[in-house]
A = this chain, B = another copy of it.
């Protein structure tokens, strides 16, 4: 489940009362415990590393903070590639705690669950960085693309170098699969995505020696572009119809795609809508997941019904 560990769980809220988000993700014992919370409750097949797609900004020389009610804020947003500083080994040194969390998770679960690592996608990391805060349109980075395409491309390339290092660090510490979350890349036109984003996503994914999953929102009309990234698994948001995605993508494995809002429904409805997705996806090459992160107000009963729907099928019900 995306955002598997999170505010919808009372034990998460309790633990987080003592730690800021930034200290929770960077303190291995805390991040390990948080990563394991949903596993203890629901026993999914995979444990998602508890981290943040923007951690990579720090070794790139940009500090960010989490502002309550706003989200990640960068006080001096970069204007171009020269405002990033990519020192050799900076990722391995400054984000060593990520490897530590994965090591601890492996000790805790041995081979009972897959460890799922992730990095942000190059466009999405650039979008947050240049905008300096969350945005609906991320117009600042799109403006940069059109006013100075060379600088934009160079910026993506510098970010991609750091993302590759972070992904490799996770693989070296036992991640069984890496997700590339380029959540907002669907904000670009097909043409601009093809020109600027696709080559960089391909380069990142090609450097990863374990199976990969790509996710981007609002790509329903151009799943072929996600497939062209070379990722082993194509993440689908909930606006994609599973049956037509399978038809379009052929043998490629898919992940998704229950609307996270459905988890607010009664458990019987959650189970029914989850089973419909499993049925539409067929028997192979499908990782059941939500179509985006679970909302912080989601009732635990809804999440439970989602996991139970899969287990009932596993048990042949």
A→B interface (CB under 8 Å): 134, 136-137, 139, 142-143, 145-147, 186-192, 218, 220-223, 238-241, 244, 259, 261-265, 269, 291, 295, 297
CA distance in complex: A145, B265 (Å):
9
CA distance in complex: A105, B192 (Å):
39
Report yes or no: B142 in contact with A190, Cβ–Cβ below 8 A.
no
Residues of B close to A221: CB separation below 8 A: 220-223, 239-241, 244
Contact A264-B143, Cβ < 8 Å, known A136-B134, A220-B221, A239-B221: yes
**A and B contact pairs by CB, cutoff 8 A, 9 listed:** A134-B136, A139-B295, A143-B261, A146-B262, A146-B264, A147-B265, A189-B291, A220-B222, A221-B241
Report yes or no: A189 in contact with B239, Cβ–Cβ below 8 A.
yes
Task: Report the 8 A-B pairs with minimum CB-CB distance, sorted nearest first.
Answer: A220-B221, A142-B261, A221-B221, A146-B265, A218-B218, A146-B264, A143-B264, A190-B241
CA distance in complex: A218, B220 (Å):
8
Report yes or no: A297 in contact with B143, Cβ–Cβ below 8 A.
yes
Scoring A143, A147, A221, A297 by chain B CB atoms within 10 A of each residue's CB, the highest score goes to A221
A268 to chain B, nearest CB (A): 12
Report yes or no: B190 in contact with A269, Cβ–Cβ below 8 A.
no
CA distance in complex: A154, B139 (Å):
36
Contact A136-B136, Cβ < 8 Å, known A189-B239, A190-B241, A220-B222: yes
CA distance in complex: A134, B239 (Å):
20
Residues of B close to A145: CB separation below 8 A: 261
A274 to chain B, nearest CB (A): 13
Contact A239-B218, Cβ < 8 Å, known A146-B269, A297-B139, A297-B143: yes
Other CB < 8 Å A-B pairs besides A139-B297, A222-B239, 17 of them? Answer: A139-B261, A143-B295, A146-B262, A146-B265, A186-B218, A188-B239, A189-B238, A189-B259, A189-B291, A218-B239, A220-B220, A220-B222, A221-B239, A221-B240, A221-B241, A221-B244, A222-B241
CA distance in complex: A2, B225 (Å):
28
Residues of B close to A241: CB separation below 8 A: 189-191, 221-222
CA distance in complex: A269, B147 (Å):
10
Residues of B close to A191: CB separation below 8 A: 241
CA distance in complex: A134, B241 (Å):
27
CA distance in complex: A239, B145 (Å):
16
A244 nearest in chain B by CB position: B221
CA distance in complex: A221, B223 (Å):
9
Report yes or no: B239 in contact with A186, Cβ–Cβ below 8 A.
yes
A295 nearest in chain B by CB position: B139
CA distance in complex: A238, B265 (Å):
33
Residues of B close to A239: CB separation below 8 A: 186-190, 218, 221-222
CA distance in complex: A136, B139 (Å):
14
CA distance in complex: A256, B17 (Å):
48
Contact A147-B259, Cβ < 8 Å, known A186-B239, A222-B220, A241-B190: no
CA distance in complex: A241, B219 (Å):
12
